[in-house]
Chain A
Amino acid sequence: EAGVVQSPRYKIIEKKQPVAFWCNPISGHNTLYWYLQNLGQGPELLIRYENEEAVDDSQLPKDRFSAERLKGVDSTLKIQPAELGDSAVYLCASSRGTSGVPFFGPGTRLTVL
C-alpha cells in the first residue's frame, strides 16, 4: 500500500510570493490533515478534512492560507502572500475515518527568503 504522497519536497520562495503544496492520501483514507511543524516543535494542526468537508479549520490563518479538497481525495494547501515566519515543514497526514490511525507523508520544507 502506497503511503501519503506530498509535493514538492522542498520549496524556496521570496516573501510575498504565493506557494502551494499538494497531498495525495493513502487510498481509502477519507480523513486528511494538514499540519505545520516548526523546528524543535511538535506538529500543529492547520486543517482537518472529512471527505471534502473541512471539519476543523480553526487554526488556519485564513487571511493568507487556504486549502481545498474538491473530490475528497487530493488536497492543496496554499499560502498567499508568504511571510518570513511561514518557513516551516508542512505535513500532510491521512487516516481511515476520524477514529483511524493517522499516517504522515514526507512533508514539504518551505523556506521564505
Chain B
Amino acid sequence: QKEVEQNSGPLSVPEGAIASLNCTYSDRGSQSFFWYRQYSGKSPELIMFIYSNGDKEDGRFTAQLNKASQYVSLLIRDSQPSDSATYLCAVKSSGDKLTFGTGTRLAVRP
C-alpha cells in the first residue's frame, strides 16, 4: 500500500462546477495534511493545509479531513479553466516525513 494515494485522473469538470479531489493515507499517526497545485512546468504551490478533523474553507477551496477513515479531500467550487492543473496531496507522518501522492490532474472545460 502506498503511503499517500490519489487517483491520477484526469478529472474533467465543466466550468462553474464543483471539483472533488480525494486522497487516502496509510499512517494513522499523520498530523498535517497539505494540498498543492502544480501547473505544467512549474513547482508545487500551496493551496491549503489542514490539521484537524472537519472542514476548512478558504475562498473557493474547502479541505476536508477524516482521520478515522484516513481520508482528506479538496473541493473547488465554481471551477475555472485557470484551475486546470495537477493537485498534489501531501501528508506529514508521525516521523515528520512529508510524503506526496502522485497527484490528480484536473481539467476544467470552458
Q: A and B: real partners? A: yes
Cβ of B45 under 8 Å from chain A: yes
Alpha-carbon distance between A41 and B36 when the two chains are bound, in angstroms: 13
Cβ of A91 under 8 Å from chain B: yes
Alpha-carbon distance between A78 and B46 when the two chains are bound, in angstroms: 27
Alpha-carbon distance between A44 and B2 when the two chains are bound, in angstroms: 13
B43 touches A40 (CB 8 A): no
Most B CB within 10 A of own CB, among A55, A56, A102, A105: A102
Q: Total A-B residue pairs with C-beta atoms closer than 8 Å?
A: 49
Alpha-carbon distance between A33 and B98 when the two chains are bound, in angstroms: 9
Helix, strand, loop or mixed for chain B's interface? Answer: strand
B103 touches A42 (CB 8 A): yes
B43 touches A101 (CB 8 A): no
Alpha-carbon distance between A63 and B36 when the two chains are bound, in angstroms: 31
Cβ of A65 under 8 Å from chain B: no
Q: What residues of A have a CB within 8 angstroms of the CB of B98 in the complex?
A: 33, 45, 48, 102
Cβ of B44 under 8 Å from chain A: yes
Q: What residues of B have a CB within 8 angstroms of the CB of A105 in the complex?
A: 43
Q: What residues of A have a CB within 8 angstroms of the CB of B32 in the complex?
A: 99
Alpha-carbon distance between A76 and B34 when the two chains are bound, in angstroms: 26
Say how far B6's CB is from chain A's closest CB, in angstroms: 8
A interface residue numbers (CB < 8 A to B): 33, 35, 40-45, 48, 55-56, 89, 91, 98-99, 101-107
B interface residue numbers (CB < 8 A to A): 4, 8, 32, 34, 36, 42-46, 49, 88, 90, 92, 95-103
Q: What are some 6 contacts across the A-B interface (CB < 8 A)?
A: A40-B8, A41-B103, A42-B102, A104-B44, A105-B43, A106-B43
Q: Give me 6 other A-B pairs in contact (C-beta within 8 A), A42-B102, A43-B100, A98-B92 excluded.
A: A35-B100, A41-B102, A42-B103, A91-B44, A102-B46, A105-B43
